[in-house]
């Protein structure tokens, strides 16, 4: 088959990967010189721990397997099975963790409850004060700023793969063909539109105004090297409020009797933190849903994140090297992992994984390939 993939973010690139792996010819078209969206502006976490049970968890676990196998072939991904720790303070946070441990799928996630000493044995950088920590063995990480480049470098070794940057797809021509802004028409047996948070223009024309996907804006930051290993990813108990795996009466009690700090509540915040290959820390994040999004970043959320991180590390953060905002596309139907829609004969739109994008992309693309009979 000849597969046309529009978009060079992580979702598009993994679709290209699966198509080439199955022996098909692939043309991948990207409107920028390189992907610039949420595929780069994320934590690089393969985040199994908080996923909803059922399809979402199954997708994340399958993606975790695929990331590890691809990472063995593509060292530039920077795949590492680092797991995660969520330090806990107080009885209410501990009760939410204990409810998660009682889930029937807790073992599949690799949940364990650690004492502070056990947590520090796994991650000695956590010198701050906490009462316990929830460990998730199945969480992992890759390097988001280089992952697509490394994957595409590997893909480019195949004579069946062509990358066309700097071309914006403007039209779908009949069936199974698109025209770019250079006037060139690209025809295949199937076209897959992986356009990320770009939901206007051609996407709106094809999918209609009622596309069940919304855009979400977030703020993040990255530090200079920490000077020591942060051997696991780290979250705080505010993450319990945002991930479906932690829903329980204990979480309801936490929300009612121990609400978020005002800044965290205002900006819908949680702490997620992972160490980059250069030793720096990627730290976030906020969530903004109301349009139009601000064009600038706000300092209060960064101050809050700094305070939380320093309380876990028991030391000052290194200098903040970068701050940024990003936008991703998220299904408004919370029961769906991704929005996959045939918008024309032979033309499919795959979008809206939300914060699951980096985690689940390999399995999302595999499912597309299976369903379309590649």
The confidence band for 174, taking pLDDT boundaries of 50, 70 and 90, is: confident
- DSSP run (H or E) holding 117: helix 116-122
Please identify which residue in the block is written with the tokens 């060139």: 184
By CB atoms closer than 10 A (0-12, 13-18, 19+), residue 68 is middle
High-pLDDT (> 90) share of the chain, %? 95
* Model confidence at 262: pLDDT above 90: yes
Q: What pLDDT is attached to residue 175?
A: 86
The confidence band for 216, taking pLDDT boundaries of 50, 70 and 90, is: very high
Whole-angstrom Cα distance, residue 38 to residue 127? 32
Q: What pLDDT is attached to residue 40?
A: 87
Q: What pLDDT is attached to residue 333?
A: 87
Q: What pLDDT is attached to residue 259?
A: 96
Q: What pLDDT is attached to residue 334?
A: 79
Whole-angstrom Cα distance, residue 333 to residue 287? 17
Mean pLDDT of 315-326: 97
Whole-angstrom Cα distance, residue 34 to residue 150? 12
The confidence band for 335, taking pLDDT boundaries of 50, 70 and 90, is: confident
Mean pLDDT of 34-55: 93
* Residue among 307, 293, 296 at smallest CA distance from 238: 307
Dihedral over alpha carbons 40, 43, 45, 47 (to 10 degrees): -110
* Model confidence at 369: pLDDT above 90: yes
- Name the E strands within 243-310: 272-275, 281-284
User: In which order are the strands placed within the sheet that holds 169-172?
Assistant: 169-172, 177-180, 185-187
| 141-13-7 Cα angle (round to 5) | 125
Dihedral over alpha carbons 113, 117, 119, 124 (to 10 degrees): 180
Q: CA-based diameter of the chain, in Å?
A: 63
* Model confidence at 36: pLDDT above 90: no
Give the mean pLDDT of the chain.
Answer: 96
Q: What pLDDT is attached to residue 171?
A: 96
Mean pLDDT of 257-276: 97
User: In which order are the strands placed within the sheet that holds 320-331?
Assistant: 111-114, 132-136, 84-88, 233-235, 272-275, 281-284, 213-223, 320-331
* Model confidence at 147: pLDDT above 90: yes
The tally of CA atoms less than 13 A away on the side-chain side of residue 279 is 9
Which domains are seen in the chain, by residue range? 1-82+141-212+337-374 (3.50.50.60), 84-137+213-331 (3.30.9.10)
Whole-angstrom Cα distance, residue 18 to residue 8? 14
* Model confidence at 69: pLDDT above 90: yes
Q: What pLDDT is attached to residue 351?
A: 97
High-pLDDT (> 70) share of the chain, %? 100
CB proximity list for 329: less than 8 A, separation 6 or greater:
196, 197, 199, 213, 214, 215, 216, 351, 352, 353, 354
* Model confidence at 281: pLDDT above 90: yes
Question: Would you say 76 and 153 are in contact if contact means Cβ atoms under 8 Å apart?
Answer: yes
Q: What pLDDT is attached to residue 240?
A: 98
């Amino acid at each position: 088959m000849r597969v046309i993939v529009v978009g060079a973010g992580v979702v598009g690139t993994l679709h290209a990967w699966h198509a080439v792996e199955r022996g098909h010819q692939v043309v991948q078209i990207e409107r920028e010189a390189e992907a610039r969206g949420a595929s780069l502006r994320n934590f690089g976490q393969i985040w199994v721990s908080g996923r909803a049970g059922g399809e979402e968890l199954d997708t994340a676990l399958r993606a975790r397997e695929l990331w590890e196998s691809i990472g063995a072939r593509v060292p530039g991904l920077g795949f590492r099975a680092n797991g995660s720790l969520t330090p806990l303070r107080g009885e209410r946070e501990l009760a939410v963790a204990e409810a998660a441990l009682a889930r029937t799928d807790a073992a599949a996630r690799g949940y364990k409850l650690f004492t502070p000493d056990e947590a520090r044995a796994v991650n000695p950088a956590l010198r701050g004060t906490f009462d316990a920590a929830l460990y998730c063995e199945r969480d992992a990480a890759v390097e988001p700023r280089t992952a697509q480049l490394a994957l595409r470098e590997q893909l480019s070794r195949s004579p069946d793969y062509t990358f066309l940057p700097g071309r914006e797809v403007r039209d779908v021509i009949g069936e199974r063909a698109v025209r770019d802004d250079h006037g060139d028409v690209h025809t295949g047996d199937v076209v897959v539109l992986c356009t990320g948070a770009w939901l206007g223009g051609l996407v709106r024309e094809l999918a209609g105004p009622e596309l069940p996907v919304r855009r979400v804006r977030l703020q993040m930051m990255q530090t200079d090297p920490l000077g020591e290993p942060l051997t696991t990813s780290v979250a705080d108990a505010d993450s319990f409020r945002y991930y479906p795996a932690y829903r329980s009466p204990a979480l309801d009690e936490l929300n009612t009797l121990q609400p978020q700090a005002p800044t965290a509540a205002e900006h819908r915040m949680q702490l997620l933190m992972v160490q980059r290959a250069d030793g720096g820390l990627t730290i976030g994040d906020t969530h903004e849903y109301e349009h139009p999004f601000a064009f600038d970043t706000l300092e209060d959320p960064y101050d809050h994140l700094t305070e939380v991180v320093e309380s876990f590390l028991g030391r000052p953060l290194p200098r903040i090297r970068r701050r940024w905002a990003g936008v991703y596309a998220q299904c408004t139907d919370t029961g769906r992992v991704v929005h996959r829609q045939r918008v024309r004969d032979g033309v499919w739109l795959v979008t809206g994984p939300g914060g699951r994008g980096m985690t689940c992309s390999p399995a999302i693309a595999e499912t597309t390939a299976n369903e379309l009979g590649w």
